[in-house]
Homo-oligomer: A and B are copies of this chain.
Amino acid sequence: MAAPGSTGTWRWAIAGTGGIADAFTRDLALVPGAEVVAVGSRAPETAEAFASSHGIARAHGSYAALAADDEVDIVYVASPHASHLEHALLFLGAGRHVLCEKPLGLSVAQVQQMVDAAAANDRFLLEAIWSRFLPAYAELRAQLAQGVIGEPRMVEAEFGFVMPFDPIHRLFDPALGGGATLDLGIYPIQLGHLVLGAPDEVAATGHLGTTGVDEHVAAVLRHPGGGITVAKASLTASLRCGATISGTLGTIELPPFMHQPESLVVRGLDGERTIEAPITGVGLHHEALEVQRCLAAGERESPLLTHAESLAIAGSLDAVRAAVGVRYAGE
């Protein structure tokens, strides 16, 4: 078992200072053995403001400066989607372990580069699909493994809300990897992958807005054995945001919101029951705990979301984008 960092704790750095960086940093306080030692940003002012707000020792005014900080074990990459590749390669190349916000890359090609870089540098890399590490998802895996709903046949899930149109908001800006699929659709799609494996066919339709990003999308994925995932994502409709897994013997429902459920409703041959699985904090500390567990065990990827699975999820996202006609710069 590898020892934690030289201070006796795992020394975390935060790359990025947006809303998710703020929430994650607050949640790290719930993780035993975690210490936030540095933050980096594009600009000194934002790094310093974030460091001051969170009581972080070192504020770096550039990502390069953060990468050069040798007193860091793990970098949490919370920059916009379109910067994940650059930043993950930067920190992996500097010898840091990386927890990178989802989507890991803008495309399967980008994710492959990141996975390759992790291997080349013998560093840990994990896509921060935080849902995967929540108690409800652990319970979901257990229920499926016990066969309470028989063979899973259909996964239906959705994530959508009405987002007031703003052409310079990251969700509407193609240069920042905008669109509903990568930011919201990834949650329903990763659930389909979790339950049914990687798909062998993806079909989708969607509506593109004036900035060219997918504002309203529905995708259907067929998996080996004939199971189907139905995934919906929207910036223009308030969807229920639940998920249902239908099997040959019953169903498991993830009540809204399916990306952060606190219970499961299992309907099987012996009736309906609700399994509580509450979240503490915001819930982002569960993924941080998994990072530290993997590192302590000398693992370079998490069995709860392997590199192969992140690649497969990126492949599904690519297929959805291709079907609805969303292309990012350089594609």
Contacts and interface: CB of A to CB of B under 8 A. Distances in A.
Interface in A295-328: 323
B234 A323 contact: no
A311 B320 CA distance: 29
A215 B226 contact: yes
A203 B201 CA distance: 11
Interface in A197-243: 201-207, 215-222, 226-228, 230, 232, 234, 236-240
A228 B240 contact: no
Given A237-B153, A239-B246, A246-B237, A205 B203 contact: yes
A230 to B, nearest CB: 5
Interface in A18-46: none
Contacts of A217: 228
Given A205-B220, A205-B221, A207-B222, 15 more contacts: A153-B216, A154-B160, A156-B158, A202-B205, A203-B203, A203-B323, A204-B220, A216-B226, A216-B227, A218-B220, A219-B220, A228-B232, A236-B248, A237-B248, A238-B246
12 contacts: A153-B236, A154-B216, A154-B218, A154-B239, A162-B248, A202-B205, A204-B220, A205-B220, A205-B221, A206-B222, A228-B232, A238-B247
A201 B251 CA distance: 30
Contacts of A218: 154, 220, 228, 230
Q: How large is the interface on A (under 10, 10 to 19, 20 to 34, 35 or more residues)?
A: 35 or more
A283 interface: no
B230 A250 contact: no
B234 A232 contact: no
Contact of A230 (B207, B230, B244, B246): B230
A201 to B, nearest CB: 5
A221 B230 CA distance: 13
Contacts of A204: 203, 220
A156 B237 CA distance: 12
Contacts of A232: 154, 156, 228, 230
A282 to B, nearest CB: 26
A238 B216 contact: no
B230 A237 contact: no
Nearest to A228: B218
A233 to B, nearest CB: 10
B240 A244 contact: yes
Nearest to A222: B205
A84 to B, nearest CB: 28
Question: Quick one: which of A205, A216, A248 has the most chain B CB within 10 A?
Answer: A205
Contacts of A240: 244, 246, 251
Closest 7 CB pairs of A and B: A207-B226, A153-B237, A203-B203, A218-B220, A205-B222, A237-B246, A205-B220
